[in-house]
Structure formats: structure tokens, C-alpha cells
Structure 1
Amino acid sequence: MIRVLIVDDSPVIRLLLRSVLEHEGFEVREASSGEQALRLLEGYRPDIVTMDVHMPGMDGYETTARILERHALPVVVVTASADAYAAATAMQALEAGALAVLDKPRGPGEPNFEACVAELLSTLRSMVQVKIVRRPRGAKKALVVPASPSPIPAAPRLVAIAASAGGPVALKALLSPLAEQPWPLLLAQHIAIGFLGSFRDWLASICRLSVRVAEHGQVLRPGVLYLAPDGHHLGVGQGLRAQLQAASGELYCPSADHLFRQVAQQLGVHGVGIQLSGMGRDGAEGLAELRRRGALTIAQEPSSAVIDAMPLAAIKLQAACQVLPPEGMAALLNSIALRSVSRSTGPEGD
């Protein structure tokens, strides 16, 4: 039996979630505030926590951060995507280490109620299996950069990044230190429908890059990070143009494998592929194809990932030329960018 702690200040929502979860055989306890949740956790060990974000007193971001400081528990944010403040706070909770964000079910009379409930149940059942480590705030990891980095086979023209659960933690560590990038970046991040705008704004707040939702056929510009629109896979076509493909029931959307394969086919040795935290093995095969084409491929060092399954799958396939923590990836990209700019502006490539 899966034990769930529901944290939400609304008694109506707590009752609704309790009813849904108990009907499916879950054991449920409730907390009406972040402060109450922390007190309960001193003597109760759930398997997973569902977290609202807009609560009086301690909000969902601070509560999530404090839970993960003290307890190795998976946290899933359940909030209203239509509420701009709640959606923005949900992004902060993901940054703190929450595994996923889901739209809150609004009641049996709503058109998307069954879909929301199905996604909630599926997410809780999958995330409860994730091994979580405590995340002390302020702890600094040593920067790891390869002592003898593999030679860069050719000047990159595009960087493709893939992430899923735990991705925002890695993305902040990767993107925040990036200097100006002389190439476009494409990101396939699994995120619930309705939260893309808040996710884009959060990314823009943590890095120097311009962050945009891609439009089909647009020319991809240097120094811009492009995201897939809801319900679409993202790729690249001839002339360095964005290619969007509507998803049709695939398990992962946007698909990391789709992104990496398109980059491999269109750019080959001139592509860079980065595989970050996530569940499952999406991206491993595509990253392997990129490496076979001679591209630079990097997998997140597993011990630095909130969830190590995606990078481990790539490593086991020998799809990664290098294995680095996100900070090391940023240092490497900055080094390549500096070299690329120097070659383009200096005499005889100096």
C-alpha cells in the first residue's frame, strides 16, 4: 500500500484527493499547511508527498525545500496551472527538487477531471519508486571537468538538451553559468501541459539566454534556448530551422530520442547532445546515434542527478563521450564557445 501525505490548505481539495487516492487503495494523511506537514513528518513516514504551492504561511516552494533538507521523500507538486502565481511557485519547487508538477483536479464535473486523475495516479505510482537523497541547501559540489577532455571533432552549430524528472535542478546548474553561446540550444523537458509558460519564464530568470517556445519552420538563432510547445516533439531541419511534430500517444513528450536523432541526421558531427536527470531511458538511443555520427555527447554524472535513470541508460549504451555534472558541462560549453569565437574573429583561427 502506498502512503501519501497531501499538503493543501483547501479542505475541499484535500477531501477530493483523499477520495480519489483511497478509492485506488492508497493510505492517506493530510496537512493543511507547510508547517503542519513538517510536524507530521517528524513522526510519520509517507512514501510520497503531494504539495500545493499557494498556501498561507509557508508556501509550497519553502515547504518542499525544507522537506528535502530533512527527509529523503519524493515530492510531487499538485497545483492550478491557470493560477500564474501558483505555476511560478511550482517552478521554484521543481528547482528545489520536487519531481513533477501536475494540474490540480477541479472536480468530477470538469471536462478534464478523469485525465487529471489518471495522470495523478500514474505519476504517484511511478515517482514513489524513485530513490531520493536529502538536499541540504547551500551545499556546494566540487566542480568536475575532465582532466584531458576529448577533442571536439568539429565546430558545433547547435546544442540539444534532454531532461525529465529532476531536470530543473540540473538545468539551473547547467544554464546559470553559461556565457554567451554562439549557437542555438534546443531543450526537450518533460513538463505537464499548462505549465510551459511558467517554465519558460523560470528558465529566463536563471540564465543569460533568451528563452522562447519554438515555432515550426523558424530559423534557430544563436544564444536562444528553444522549448517544444505543449503536445509537440522538437527537432531541427535543413537550414537550421525548428521542426515541430504533434505527439500521437507516445510515452514521452517532448521526446529526447526524437530531438537527438534529428540533430544527428541534420548536423552530425556539428551537433552536441546533453542527457540530464530523468526516469526511464528516453534519449539514450538518440544520444548513441549522435555519437555514432561523431558529435560531442555528454551524460550527467549519475551521482549529481536527482534521478539517474536517463543518464545511466545513455552511459550503459556507451552513448556519452563524456560524463560530467551540470557545472562541468557548463564549463566545457563555455570553453568551446570561447574557442569558437576566437577562431571566427582571430587571424588564421588564432
Structure 2
Amino acid sequence: MSDVLLIEDDPAVRQGVTWGLRHRGHRVTAAATGEEGLAALRSHRPDVAVLDLMLPGMTGLDVLKRIRDRDQLPIIIVTARGDDVDVVLGLETGADDYVIKPVQAGVLEARIRAVLRRFGPEAAVPAHLRPRSYGELTIDRAAYTVTRNGEPVPLGPSELRLLLALSAAPGQVLSRQQLLEQVWEHSYHGDVRLVDACVKRLRGKLGETSGGARYVETVRGFGYRFRAG
């Protein structure tokens, strides 16, 4: 059972999703506006947020930015169209996954379970593994922490799992589909925008510039690989 914050302005969608998730055993706090959703976050911390991008007043992207400024809470965005540019903006701003309207409670629950597993016990790494350093970057797989020059790097669930997946085999190229399966648990031919947007966010947090990738290298036509040094 997880604690879900749902921010959705459409009453029918809000009620339907709330009922569907509660029927599956989840606790749901529903908010009709971005302002209400942020207020709910101040009163308690849910396990995951489900955020509609098309909100009245404060937009979903604005809410997403506000949440990311203070928290690495897993966030799943909801969009009306799968090819909408807002999806890319949302992913690059920090969303971990997305679903397309009409929202099916079963699909949404599967995405919620997947994003929570990225920090859950099923993903645990044996504690005896010592932290490994790659230049100025240190990755502690047991503690789920990353530091750069001794300073913590605040990574969200998807960014951390992506870095762990790539750094597990330095020099090995992983395709976008392989990363979708390992990080997002999308076993079907999924949307590679999830991977590309997450790589962009990860590179920014690792201090990489557009002029060169020190750690996460693009292999054109194939995917990405981690450079150990």
C-alpha cells in the first residue's frame, strides 16, 4: 500500500482515479489545483505524486518545478496526448514517468509500483559493496548516494537508477530499450523520451556540459555508456 497525492482538476478523472487506486489498497489525497496540491505536500509527504499537466491557474509544469526545488519525490505526470511537447518538458523538468488520458487505474498502479521499486527493498544492493569512485564522482550502491567532489548530488529515483544501471558495466553500451526495461520496467517497446530526458537531467546534475560528456556518453545509433575515467 502506498500514499498517493493526486493533483487533477477534472472532477470525473479525479474521482475515478481516486476510487480505482483506493480499491487497489492505496491511500489517496486528491487536490483539484496546483496550489491545493502544494499545500497538501506541506502537511504530509506522500510516497508518490500523480500530476496532471493541464491545471487551471498554476500549471502542472510550475507545480513540478516547485516540487523538484524542494524534494526528490517520485512524480508521474498525466497528459492528454502522448506526442505533446509538454511531455518532454515535464520529463526534462524532473518527472519520473507519464501516463496518457484516459487514465486506466490498472496502468497507473503499475507505473506507481514500478517507480516506488526504484527506491524499494526489491532494488537493494548488498551492503558489503563499497563505494566506488570515478574521478570526482563517488557512487555508493549500498547507501544509494552519489557525491561529486565530496558534495552530495541530489538525484531523483529515475536518475539514480539510470546512473546505477550504466555504471554497473563501465564501457558497455546499453540501448534505450534496455534502459527502459531496467530502470522504468517497461518491457514493451517503450517511449525513449523517458531515457533521453532522464539522461539530460542526470548530466546536468553531474556537472556535465553540452560540450562534452565525462561520465554518460552518447553512442549514436545505439544508446549510452558510462565512462569510468
Report the TM-score, using the length of structure 1 for normalisation: 0.39
Could you tell me which residue of structure 1 aligns to residue 109 of structure 2? 121
After TM superposition, give the deviation of residue 69 of structure 1 in Å.
1.3
Q: Could you tell me how far apart the structure 1 residues matched to 2:28 and 2:110 are?
A: 16
Could you tell me which residue of structure 2 aligns to residue 21 of structure 1? 21
After TM superposition, give the deviation of residue 19 of structure 1 in Å.
1.3
State the secondary structure of the residue aligned to 1:128.
helix
- Structure having the higher Rg: 1
State the secondary structure of the residue aligned to 2:46.
coil
Aligned residue pairs, count = 154
Q: How does 1:160-309 map to 2 (within 5 A)?
A: 303=153, 306=156, 307-309=159-161
In structure 2, list runs of 5 or more residues that go unmatched: 120-134, 137-147, 174-201, 214-229
Could you tell me which residue of structure 2 aligns to residue 191 of structure 1? none
Could you tell me which residue of structure 2 aligns to residue 3 of structure 1? 3
Q: Could you tell me how far apart the structure 1 residues matched to 2:203 and 2:55 are?
A: 34
After TM superposition, give the deviation of residue 328 of structure 1 in Å.
3.2
In structure 1, list runs of 5 or more residues that go unmatched: 107-115, 132-145, 148-300, 334-350
2:100 counterpart (93, 99, 103): 103
Q: Could you tell me how far apart the structure 2 residues matched to 1:44 and 1:312 are?
A: 29
Q: Could you tell me how far apart the structure 1 residues matched to 2:60 and 2:114 are?
A: 21
| Cα deviations by residue, 1:241-279 (Å, 9 ceiling, x for unpaired) | xxxxxxxxxxxxxxxxxxxxxxxxxxxxxxxxxxxxxxx
Could you tell me which residue of structure 1 aligns to residue 166 of structure 2? 314
2:91 counterpart (91, 94, 98): 94
Contact 2:118 2:161 in 1 (8 A): no
1:328 counterpart (208, 213, 216): 208
| Cα deviations by residue, 1:149-203 (Å, 9 ceiling, x for unpaired) | xxxxxxxxxxxxxxxxxxxxxxxxxxxxxxxxxxxxxxxxxxxxxxxxxxxxxxx
Could you tell me which residue of structure 2 aligns to residue 73 of structure 1? 73
* Change in 2 beyond 3 A, CA 1:63/1:329: closer
Letter in 2 for 1:101: Y
Could you tell me which residue of structure 1 aligns to residue 191 of structure 2? none
After TM superposition, give the deviation of residue 305 of structure 1 in Å.
5.2
Letter in 2 for 1:332: G
Contact 2:53 2:79 in 1 (8 A): yes
Report the TM-score, using the length of structure 2 for normalisation: 0.58
Q: Could you tell me how far apart the structure 2 residues matched to 1:317 and 1:99 are?
A: 23
Q: CA RMSD in A?
A: 3.1
Letter in 2 for 1:33: T
After TM superposition, give the deviation of residue 55 of structure 1 in Å.
1.2
Could you tell me which residue of structure 1 aligns to residue 49 of structure 2? 49
